[in-house]
Amino acid sequence: MSDSTFLAACRGEPVERIPVWFMRQAGRSLPGYRKLRETHDVLSLTQTPALAAQVSMEPIELLGVDAAILFADIMLLPIAMGIEVRIVEGVGPVIDDPLDTPEKVARLHAFTPERVDYLQETIRILRTKLSVPLIGFSGAPFTLASYLIEGKPSRTWLKTKLFMLEHPKAWKELMTALSDGVIGYLQTQITAGAQAVQLFDSWVGCLSPEEYRAFVLPYVQHIFASLKNGGVPRLHFGTNTAGILEDFSSVDCEVIGVDWRISIGKAKQAIGDKSIQGNLDPALLLAPWETLTQTVDRMLAEINPKQGYIFNLGHGMPPEADDMVVRKLVEYVHKK
């Protein structure tokens, strides 16, 4: 038996208590993080091991969750591959000179672990201090490519889709370079001590099933296959994936993360034997307590929550969420 409900659930083993963690639980509105943000920007916080470790640990005590997530950002990998990225408050990642032509793809350097020595140090610190498992993560190639091509967050991903459709050869180069980077980046995290890894393909749900299969799936398959020997559970998360869920969950991994646009029971049917993570609408954290718990009860009734299930939101925690409500929710799920 594993001593962690989170790791046991990833592996599909029965648990006595439903494991809970929240995407984007570190940072956001937590008081210790807000205090550090008065003197540090996000990127320098992620690159300062002692402080990044502190931010990763804050929700463990405060919210009572069953896993910690490394305090990092998906853009740290492109930065390690030579791309200049700024994180703009209220906007997100911005690249002043995006990779928006086939020629510019060559700017992406190969990933080497030394470029993220700071992350390895953060992981080592966390492993000496944490009582719960540590989740490492990376952005998936499509989601990373979308920031690199658009230069900023987009709601339509038009430039990304046109690049993919007009320049299939350059797309292949870009996705291959990013996939190799993701593999090296996640392997580095596992070697340093990450006990599970999650691939965030946050924006891949903007593609049609045919596009997903042709332009994304082979790369993600290759990433997960390459990580198999790492020996830690592998989680694959995306939003808006209801229409591509069979393909999305066909990769060789242990856990599929889904958002709330599909019912968890239906999602479980589509993914089959793998474990499932999700899928409360983050907005519910701000709803009346009765509404919140009724929704949670309904979710839990659709699956067997004590085997192969990890309670989470369907996407990141909103900064507006009240820490004490979130804590109460964790207790509520733990009592089920």
Given the residues 66, 73, 180, 259, the one annotated as active site = 73
Residue number, 72 or 220, with CB nearest to ligand CP3: 72
Site for ligand CP3 in 314-333 (CB under 6 A): 316
Is 322 among the catalytic positions?
no
Q: Which helix (H) or strand (E) holds 311?
A: strand 309-313
Helices 168-192 and 217-227, packing angle to 10 deg: 20
Phi, psi (5° rounding) for residue 247? -65, -45
Given the residues 24, 213, 261, 327, the one annotated as active site = 24
Name which of residues 140 to 199 contact ligand CP3 (CB under 6 A): 153
87 or 287, CB closer to ligand CP3? 87
Q: What is the nearest approach in angstroms of ligand CP3 to the Cβ of residue 318?
A: 9
Give the range of 21-29, 216-224, 269-277, 281-289 binding ligand CP3 by CB under 6 A: 21-29
Is residue 205 part of the contact set for ligand CP3 (CB under 6 A)? no
Contact between 134 and ligand CP3 by CB under 6 A: the answer reads no
With beta carbons less than 8 A apart as the criterion, state whether 279 and 267 touch. yes
- Of the candidate residues 58, 73, 254, 259, the single one contacting ligand CP3 (CB under 6 A): 73
Closest distance to ligand CP3 from the beta carbon of 196 (Å): 13
Distance CA 330, CA 125 (A): 26
Helix (H, G, I), strand (E, B) or coil at 106: helix
Is residue 108 within 8 Å of residue 82, measured between CB atoms? yes
Q: Which of 122, 202, 279, 312 is in the footprint of ligand CP3 by CB under 6 A?
A: 202
Residues 6+ apart with CB under 8 A from 69: 21, 23, 25, 26, 56, 134, 135, 137, 198
Quick one: 26 or 258, whose CB is closer to ligand CP3? 26
For residue 147, indicate whether it is catalytic. Answer: yes
CB closer to ligand CP3, 62 vs 300: 62
Interacting span for ligand CP3 (CB under 6 A) from 18-26, 165-173, 262-270, 304-312: 18-26
Of the pair 79, 303, the CB lying nearest ligand CP3 is at 79
Per CB under 6 A, does 37 bind ligand CP3? yes
- Residues comprising the chain, all counted: 336
Question: Is 137 one of the binding residues for ligand CP3 (CB under 6 A)?
Answer: yes
127 belongs to the catalytic site: no
* Residue of 66, 115, 147, 201 marked active site: 147
Is 281 a catalytic site residue?
no
Q: Are 160 and 146 in contact (CB under 8 A)?
A: yes
Contact (CB, 8 A) for 60 and 19? no
User: Any catalytic annotation for residue 24?
Assistant: yes
Structure tokens at 275: 């474990």
Q: Which is nearer to ligand CP3, 38 or 290 (CB)?
A: 38
Secondary structure, 3-state, 122-174: HHHHHHHHCCCCEEEEEECHHHHHHHHHHCCCCCCCHHHHHHHHHCHHHHHHH
Q: Rule CB under 6 A: say whether 79 interacts with ligand CP3.
A: no
Cα 301 from Cα 294, distance rounded (Å):
11
Scanning the chain, the segments in alpha helix (DSSP H) are 5-10, 31-37, 42-46, 49-63, 76-80, 117-129, 141-150, 158-166, 168-192, 209-215, 217-227, 245-248, 264-271, 289-301, 323-334
> Applying CB under 6 A, which part among 2-10, 87-95, 117-125, 305-313 lies near ligand CP3?
87-95
Does 93 participate in binding ligand CP3 (rule CB under 6 A)? yes
DSSP 186-228: HHHHHHHT-SEEEEEETTGGGS-HHHHHHHTHHHHHHHHHHHG
Among 5, 20, 27, 116, binds ligand CP3 (CB under 6 A): 27
* Positions that interact with ligand CP3 (CB under 6 A): 23-27, 37, 42, 69, 71-74, 87, 89, 92-93, 137, 153, 200, 202, 316
Residues belonging to the active site: 24, 28, 37, 73, 147
